[in-house]
Amino acid sequence: MLNIWNDFQSALFLFFKYVTRGNKVTLVLTVLMATLAFIQINLVHGILSGAVNLIYSQTKNNYVGNIVIQPGKDRWGNNEEYIKQVELLKRKINAIPGIIGCSARYSLGAIIEYDPDKTGKDIRSISWPVKSVNPDDEMRTSELHNYMLAGEYLDESDRDQIVMGREVSGGYGASLEVQSLKGVDIGDEVTVFYHNGVVRKYTVKGIYATVFPLADMTVFVTQKEMESVLGIHDRASEIIIRTDEAYPEAYYIQELRRAGVELQDIRPWQDFIGLVLGIAQSFDIIKRIILLIGLIVAGVTIFIVIFIATISRRKQIGIMKAIGMKESIIVTSYILLALFYATIGISLGMAIIEFILKPYFIAHPLVFPMGRVSLLIVRSEFLTSIASMLAVSILAGFIPSWQVSRENIIKAIWG
Amino acid sequence: MIKVKDLKKTYAGKVPVHALKGVSFDIPSGQFVALMGPSGSGKSTLLHQLALLDTPTSGGILLDGVDILSLSQHAATAFRLRHLGYVFQEYALIPELNAIENAFLPLMLLGMHRKEYMRIAGDLMDKVGLSDRLHHLISELSGGEQQRVAIARALVNKSKILFADEPCANLDTENKGIVLRLLRKLCNELGQTILMVTHEPEQREFADRVLWLRDGRLEKEEYISKDTQEEALHNGYRTDISSDPDYLKDD
C-alpha cells in the first residue's frame, strides 16, 4: 500500500513538472480542444433537450394535461360516447394527493363558417371539433388563458362567445393559414354547424397563441353552452388532469384506479403526441451521436498530444526506466496529464456554458415551430458527458504511454 | 564485485549479429575499470547486459553475489533502482526537471522523505561542484554540468556499482577532465566499483585496469600503475585548473 502511494506521488511529481515546465502552447491548445468538445456536446444536448422539454411542457400545459380520462366501454363492450357522473368523478380525482386540478371537456365535430362582409360571397369555413370548458376548472389544468393574443378568455356565464387558437382564426402569425378562417378577429361573428344538427352563432371573444400548433388548433365554448347544444348534463368527452409531477404519470393513474375511476380509459399525455414523440426520440439519437463525436474529438486530441509527448520523450522514458522507474509510474503520470487536460477543459466548458451560453440563450432563445427554445442542461446528461470525457481522457493517456513505456530500454534510448 | 561468465549476446535478424561471443572476467569491489576496444567490439553491449538494460543470450552475471539474470522484470527494475548507477553517453536527463530534481529522482522513487532526499542530493551536487546550479533547468547547464548531474543521479542511491557508457564522449577537454577526475575520486573515496566504456586511450589512465574487447571477445587486459593514475589525475585533460569544482582541487 505504501509502495502504491509512493508510486502515485512520484507520478504526481512528474505530471506536475510536465504541466509547469512543459510546452505552454500545447497545454493551451489541448485544453481549448477539450473545452470546445465539451461545449459542443452540451450545447447541442442543451438545445435538443430544450426543444424536447418545450414540446413536453407545451403538451402538458396547453394541450392534454398530464393525464386524460376518456370514456370506457359499456357492459356489452361497446365504446361509450361520454364519461358519466362527471361531477362525482371530479370530486374523487381532486381528492387524490398530488392532483392539482381536473377539467371536464366536451368535444363535438362542427363546421365553422365566417362571412367577413356578410354578403355570402366570401364565406370561409373549416371543419373542426369544438371543445367546451369550465373556465374555472380549466385555469387550474391549462395555461391557455395566459396566452391571449387578443380579447379575453371565457367566463363561466358566457353563452354566445367563442375562443379560438390562432391556427383556427388565421392571422396573428399563424403558420397554417390555408386551413384557417383566414383572418377572424375578436368581435367577429362566426356560425357553428354542430354535427348533431344544432346551429349557433358566436362572437369571437378571444384569440390565443401558445405557438404550439396542436394547442393552437382548438376552439372553445363554455361547458354550459355545449350542454345546451348537446342537451345533456354531467357528462364529458374527456377529463384533463394536472399533477404536481412529484411522481410519474403511471403512479397517478394507479391512484385514480384505486380512487374508483375504474370504467374509464386513462392515458398519460405521451399517448397524445405520437408524432412529436417520434421527433423527441430522433433528438435523443442525435444527442447520442453528438456525444460520441464529441468524445472522439476530445479523445483523439488528447491521444495525439500524449502520443506526441511520449514519442518525443521516448529517450527520457527509456532513461527513467533505466534508473529504475516502474512503467506504472510513467503511465500514471501521463494519465494524470490527460486527466488534467480534460478536467481543465471541462471546467472551462462548464464556466462558458453557465456564465455565457445560458444567459445568452435566455436573452436570445431559438425560435422553433413549437415555441422559443433556450438551453436546458439535463443534470444526468451533463454528468454523463463529464464522466465520459474523463473516461476517454484516461484511455487517451493510457494507450500511448503504455505503448512507449513497454518498449525495450535500449531501443527507447538509442532508437 | 562483478563476475561475468561466458557471456554471449546475439542480435537476431536475417543475418544474426554475435555482439558478445563468450566474455568472462571478474571485477573486485572498489576497482575502476575501463572497457576499451574499437567500434563494434561489443563494449556498450556488454555494459547494457551488466546494467540490466538488456538480456544476454547466454552466460552468467553476478553483481555483488546476485544472479541478475534470474530476476523478473519487476525485480530487475527494483535492482537497478537500489543497487546500480548508470551514466549515459549523452546527457540523459529529464528536461522538465531542474538539476537537483534530476539528482534526487531515484531517492524519491525509493520512497524517501523529501527533506532527506533533498539533503543527500544537495550534498552530492555539492561534491560534483554544482551547489550553485541546483535549481537551474537542464537547458541552462553546459554539457559538462549536465554530465555531472547525471553522475550525481547515478550515485544518489549509494550504489556500489557505477556503469558509465562513454561519459565524456560529447564533452570538451576541460569537462572531460572534470568528469574523469570525479569518477576517479569516487572510486578512491567511496569505494565505488566503476566500469567505464571509452574509446579514448588517454581516459584509461584514470582507471585501475583496462579490459580490451575485440569482435565480442575479451582480447587482453592491462593494469594502470598508481603513478600513471596520479599523473592523469593532476594533469590529464587539464586546461584551466581554476574552473574545476572545489572538491577536485583538495589534493
Arithmetic mean of pLDDT, B50-62: 93
Measured distance CA(A65)–CA(A45) in Å, rounded: 26
The answer, for B76 touching chain A at a CB cutoff of 8 Å, is no
Residues of A in contact with B51 (CB under 8 A): 322
What local confidence, expressed as pLDDT, does residue B115 receive? 94
Residue B231: Cβ within 10 Å count: 12
Whether residue A331 has pLDDT greater than 70: yes
Measured distance CA(B195)–CA(B205) in Å, rounded: 14
Q: What is the pLDDT of residues A19-53, one digit of tens each?
A: 998 889 988 998 998 899 899 889 988 998 888 88
Whether residue B240 has pLDDT greater than 70: no
Q: What is the dihedral of CA A27, A32, A35, A36, to 10 degrees?
A: -150
Say whether B105 and A316 touch across the interface (CB within 8 A). Answer: no
Q: What is the dihedral of CA A212, A215, A217, A222, to 10 degrees?
A: -150
Are the C-beta atoms of A167 and A176 separated by less than 8 Å? yes
CA of B154, closest CA in chain A: separation in Å? 8
Q: What is the pLDDT of residues A199-232, one digit of tens each?
A: 999 999 999 998 888 888 889 999 999 999 999 9
The answer, for A321 touching chain B at a CB cutoff of 8 Å, is yes
Q: Which residues, including other chains, have CB under 8 Å from residue B247's CB and lie 6 or more apart?
A: B126, B127, B128, B129, B182, B185
What angle separates helix A24-62 from helix A379-405, to the nearest 10 degrees?
A: 150
pLDDT confidence bin for A1, thresholds 50/70/90: low
Whether residue A75 has pLDDT greater than 90: no
Q: Cα separations (Å) of A44 from A130, A365, A378, A383?
A: 39, 14, 12, 15
Are the C-beta atoms of B19 and B213 separated by less than 8 Å? no
Q: What is the pLDDT of residues B85-132, one digit of tens each?
A: 998 887 689 988 999 999 999 999 999 999 999 999 999 899 888 899
What local confidence, expressed as pLDDT, does residue B242 receive? 46
Which burial class, exposed, middle or buried, applies to A231 when counting CB atoms under 10 A from its CB (0-12, 13-18, 19+)? exposed
Q: Which of A172-176, A253-257, B133-137 has the lowest mean pLDDT?
A: A172-176
What local confidence, expressed as pLDDT, does residue A370 receive? 76
Q: Which bin fits A389, alpha (ψ -120 to 50), beta or left (φ > 0)?
A: alpha
Say whether A21 and B81 touch across the interface (CB within 8 A). Answer: no
Arithmetic mean of pLDDT, B149-153: 90
Residue B23 C-alpha from the chain's centroid: 20
Are the C-beta atoms of B187 and B32 separated by less than 8 Å? yes
Measured distance CA(A276)–CA(A280) in Å, rounded: 6
CA of A406, closest CA in chain B: separation in Å? 11
| Structure ipTM | 0.85
Residues of A in contact with B108 (CB under 8 A): 9-10, 13
The answer, for B137 touching chain A at a CB cutoff of 8 Å, is yes
* Sheet architecture: strand order including A238-243: A99-105, A238-243, A67-70, A265-268
Q: What is the pLDDT of residues A154-181, one digit of tens each?
A: 998 899 999 999 999 988 877 776 678 8
Neighbouring-strand partners of residue B85: B162
CA of A413, closest CA in chain B: separation in Å? 9
Residues of A in contact with B77 (CB under 8 A): 321, 324-326
Mean residue pLDDT of chain A comes to 89
Whether residue B45 has pLDDT greater than 60: yes
Residues of B in contact with A408 (CB under 8 A): 54
Q: Which of B53, B93, B96 sits opposite A17 (nearest CB)?
A: B96
What local confidence, expressed as pLDDT, does residue A312 receive? 83
